[in-house]
Structure 1
Amino acid sequence: MRNVLFIIILVLIVIVSLLIYQNLTGGPPKEPGSDGGPIQPRPSEPEKQIKFGDRLYIRILKAEDKFELWFSSDNKPYQLYKSYIICTYSGGLGPKRIQGDHKSPEGFYSTTKGLLNPNSNYHLSFNIGYPNAFDRANGYTGDFLMVHGGCASAGCYAMTDPIITEIYGLVEQAFAGGQKVVPIHIFPFAMTQNKMTQYQDSEYIDFWKTLKPAYDFFETNHRVPVIEVSGKQYLVKAG
């Protein structure tokens, strides 16, 4: 009987001790990183640095909703700086051909300092240069196709105000550093062979086949190819 009484008293002492500890500390000891405990900082990936004078290349992948900024320093191969999510574009996949079709263009375009619009109704914007020589040669119509803020599109690429602010600033910086033209290459999707097979029955497949050499060249070399227009077709040359 005395042994049982001793065990009961010992258990009560342990319980009382735990209650006193919790009152003093606000709770039992916790593992690092658990709720309320000290959180160990995680090492973050260092942000890629851009130097004044680095050259900018913009690549858009429609199906993936990707808007990519690539930079080249000292004529070295381009490196991906950042990939943004496109808020919206319009008309689905395929090239723009007619004024008012509300299609967002595909193909090889570019912007210049004179095509920047700091007073846009959509916060900030820059014109992508549609129609280009290919579009004009094929009789395609339309104008004022932009990359802009907000999240509404009638043929433009809408990025939201905070994101266009960042992109616009980097485009401005490229021009301030001496770049005259920023190429903007717009693909319907990441043009891997698997994706080409997936879309082989599309009405646009013949057009997309003319874009693929430029996609492949950049993927292999991380250099922007030279694009010409011959016989109403794109002609891709080494950059």
Structure 2
Amino acid sequence: MIASSFLNRQSLRVRRLLAPVMTMAVCMLLTGCVASDMMLSDVSSEPPKLSSAVTAEMAKKAMTPDAPVLVRIFKQESELEVWKVDKTGNYALFKTYPMCRWSGKLGPKTSDGDRQAPEGFYHVSAGMLNPKSQYYVSFNLGYPNRLESALGYTGDALMVHGACSSSGCYAMTDQGVGEIYAIVQAALKGGQERFQVQAFPFRMTAKNMAQHRDDPNMPFWRTLKEGYDLFALTRRQPKVSACGRRYVFNMDFQGNEPASPLAACPPGTTQNAPALVAQLEAERRKVDEASSESRSVAALSYVDGGMHPSFRSILKNQGATKMAKSVSGISYPVSRPEAALADPYSAPRNWKPREAVKD
């Protein structure tokens, strides 16, 4: 009886101590994409490491684990690409990962709670990696960046993480993000100060740009395409600056960097060779020509974000509960599965989505 009474008192004391932690964990789960050092979802005390299969694949592609890395994200295709510098000194595609879930619609994130996954150019340093994230492991994109902050955009803790749940983040499943995390961590440990993340609404071909030509985000997307084309043509990371309320790329401001992203761009010269400038201009003409020749079509619309077709097939065949168990060690639920199954579809020009709300 004495032992039983003692154990009961101890159990009550533990429950009281854990109550605030449990409450905090529940609150964080409800807010969506949050990374914290105090979570009940830690699947391992150690961050993931490069597997022998990944290092062998790198060797086949003339890459080393410590070589610089660059990440590209595409919403419409629900894919994330990892690029690494190979023996040529240029970036080459290492692997394309299917994305399990992103939320919102095509277009930049502008305010906290809009469920939008961000679009733009970001730079991730070692301190932005979180081995004890709410969703297994993650890295913070750094939203809002300098330009977004100047424009008054709000929100924080926008991540690439595990599981298949999103309210503004890019969810890659535990298996996918574990491999991505190990790759970028190795590059940062190898001497890369920070790696660039390029987040796009879609693969920015002339055809895709023309399909979305009536979207109000098109001026912003044309700017993103400049950075997209620079990387595609050179296989080198573009230098990103901001002035005149937009991104500018590979500009030499002769030590007089723009004082503010909102101010007019100071005098400067492009660092691009004349041949590259001509190629960039040719890409702009392709978009103009495709937009003028393309017939009017209904734009792709999203109830709430997207999911790679491979995962949508699993969701359709197995249901959200079984799928959650297969993609996350903690079995976090798939966010808004009905919306994921409805993605994407062609909507009438006058169609408007329902007001976005948080999970």
Q: Deviations over 1:155-188 (max 9, x none)?
A: 0000000111100000110111011101000011
Aligned counterparts of 2:205 and 2:86: Cα–Cα separation in 1: 27
**Structure 2 match to 1:55:** 68
User: Is 2:141 the partner of 1:117?
Assistant: no
| CA deviation vs aligned residue, 1:2-42 (integer Å, no higher than 9, x gap) | xxxxxxxxxxxxxxxxxxxxxxxxxxxxxxxxxxxxxxxxx
Aligned-pair CA distance for 1:61: 1.2
The CA distance in 2 between the partners of 1:75 and 1:136, in whole Å, is 37
CA distance in 2, matches of 1:75, 1:125: 30
Name which of 63, 69, 83 aligns with 2:96.
83
The aligned residue for residue 4 of structure 1 is: none
Q: How does 1:1-239 map to 2 (within 5 A)?
A: 47-73=60-86, 76-237=89-250
For 2:100 and 2:60, how far apart are their aligned partners in 1? 23
Contact 2:65 2:183 (8 Å CA) reproduced: no
Equivalent position SS for 1:80:
strand
What is the distance in 2 between the residues matched to 1:73 and 1:231?
A: 35
Tell me if structure 2 keeps the 8 A contact 1:99–1:142.
yes
Query: 3-state SS of the aligned residue for 1:214?
Result: helix
Q: Give, in angstroms, the shift of residue 62 of structure 1.
A: 1.1
The Cα shift of 1:75 comes to: 6.8
- TM (norm. structure 1) is 0.78
Residue in structure 1 matched with residue 306 of structure 2 by the alignment: none
Gap runs ≥5 in structure 2: 1-56, 251-270, 273-359
Larger radius of gyration: 1
Residue 50 of structure 1 and its aligned partner are, at CA, apart by: 3.0
1:123-142 CA distance string (max 9 Å, x none): 00110110001101111000
Q: How far has the Cα of 1:94 moved from its partner?
A: 0.3
- Displacement after TM superposition at 1:212 (Å): 0.7
Contact preservation (8 Å) 2:61, 2:86 = no
Deviations 1:179-200 (A, max 9, x none): 1101000011111111111100
> Is the contact between residue 139 and residue 159 of structure 2 (CA under 8 Å) also seen in structure 1?
yes
Q: Which moved more, 1:49-58 or 1:181-190?
A: 49-58
Q: For 2:66 and 2:178, how far apart are their aligned partners in 1? A: 20
One-letter amino acid matched to 1:86: M
The one-letter code matched in structure 2 to 1:186 is A
TM-score normalised by the chain length of structure 2: 0.53
Classify the secondary structure of the residue corresponding to 1:108: strand
The whole-number CA distance in structure 2 between the counterparts of 1:165 and 1:53 is: 17
Q: Distance in 1 between matches of 2:146 and 2:87?
A: 30
Equivalent residue letter for 1:125: S
Checking the alignment, whether the CA contact within 8 Å between 1:54 and 1:74 is kept in structure 2 is no
Cα RMSD over matched residues? 1.7
Q: Stretches of 4+ moved more than 6 A in 1?
A: none
Report the AA paired with residue 172 of structure 2: M
- Paired letter, 1:103: Q
Conserved? CA contact 1:108–1:184, under 8 Å: yes
SS of residue paired to 2:101:
coil
Mark the runs of 5 or more structure 1 residues left unpaired by the alignment.
Answer: 1-43
